[in-house]
Amino acid sequence: MSETDSDSDSDSDPDLDPDSKDTARRQHNWSVEAAFLAAGSRLHSTPALLIPFALAGFVLAVIDTMRRHDPIPVLEYGDLEQATIHLEYAGYPTAIGQTTLPLEALAGLELPYLVWGFGLYLISLLAVSAAGVLTFTALLDGEAHLGPLPSYFGLVVGLDLGNRLLSSVEFLQNMGLLGIVPLVLILFVLVLLFPTPGLVAAGASPLTAIRWSEDVVRGERWTVLGLVLLLGICAWVLASVPVVGTFLTGALIAPLHAAMIVSLFEYRRTDEASGVPLEP
């Protein structure tokens, strides 16, 4: 073989070409932009993926209307005129309701009101859970089904109660600059739990999914943090829109969130260093 042929083969061999290696490495990088584009492309190519969470957003919007006319006290969602920025991130894909029923408001109620108030609460979580399972299974399996619904519903209830517990701790709300410390800890936990809903929808139990989640996000925590902040702030902005805010968060943010989690799974499948079983 001549020297010219050898040089030509070297230039065309991606194993020997540093530029080709760099290009391939960039293609396999998972970033906020890459996750957003991958999720957006998936939803654009299959618009039916938007339907389950759009319906869940509609259900939550109807529940908001009912609660505003109920004698049971509820918390109303604030608007963008407030100076502080809020992060609306529940730990799982969901529409953001514009009313919140404090569970302590159910204490001492007569049985009919108790059943009504608690029933609406469970219906809202069930609607979001069913939408999550249908969306994730369609993304992961190519066919929507409700098989993992019991486990997924248990995860949603657990995360919702955890969010309510943290929101009810008064000293966390009045710590000023010292509140940065618990905020960092909370964000750290949210980052670790980012893939958990998708793992449960893939068939893992909630506890198993939580254990696996740390391995799934290893090496990508900063990217996941960026996604948590992006999703949380966008959900806050859309949820603040009067009347249709809840529906918009369901139709747009929740399916995007689910597709981003699946994009992480797809990235991990191409990452030979990851030994996490993403299909339990």
On the question of pLDDT at 223 being above 70, the answer is yes
User: Which of 83, 87, 50, 54 has its CA nearest to residue 256?
Assistant: 50
Whole-structure pTM value: 0.85
**Interval 149-169: pLDDT, tens:** 999 999 999 999 999 888 766
User: Mean pLDDT lowest for which of 4-13, 25-34, 36-45, 213-222?
Assistant: 4-13
Residue 195: inside a domain: yes
Q: What is the mean pLDDT of residues 6-29?
A: 45
- Cβ-based neighbour number of residue 122 at 10 Å: 11
Q: What is the mean pLDDT of residues 158-185?
A: 75
**Residue 125: its pLDDT value, please?**
98
Give the domain extent around 230: 31-269
Residue 278: inside a domain: no
What confidence tier does 19 reach under pLDDT thresholds 50, 70, 90?
very low
Residue 53: inside a domain: yes
**Interval 21-42: pLDDT, tens:** 443 444 457 899 999 999 999 9
Q: What is the mean pLDDT of residues 131-153?
A: 97
Contact 123, 86 (CB under 8 A): no
Of the chain, the percentage scoring pLDDT greater than 90 comes to 65
**Residue 73: its pLDDT value, please?**
86
Contact 200, 209 (CB under 8 A): yes
Residue 181: inside a domain: yes
Q: Give whichever of 9-13, 41-45, 269-273 has the largest mean pLDDT.
A: 41-45
Residue 18: inside a domain: no
Q: What is the mean pLDDT of residues 16-25?
A: 42
Residue 277: inside a domain: no
Q: Give whichever of 10-24, 91-105, 193-207 has the largest mean pLDDT.
A: 193-207
What confidence tier does 174 reach under pLDDT thresholds 50, 70, 90?
low
On the question of pLDDT at 78 being above 80, the answer is no
Contact 54, 247 (CB under 8 A): yes
On the question of pLDDT at 8 being above 50, the answer is no
**Residue 70: its pLDDT value, please?**
86
For the chain, the domain total comes to 1
Residue 250: inside a domain: yes
User: Mean pLDDT lowest for which of 41-55, 81-95, 249-263?
Assistant: 81-95
Residue 71: inside a domain: yes
**Residue 115: its pLDDT value, please?**
94
**Residue 99: its pLDDT value, please?**
92
**Residue 172: its pLDDT value, please?**
57
**Interval 242-264: pLDDT, tens:** 889 999 999 999 999 999 999 99
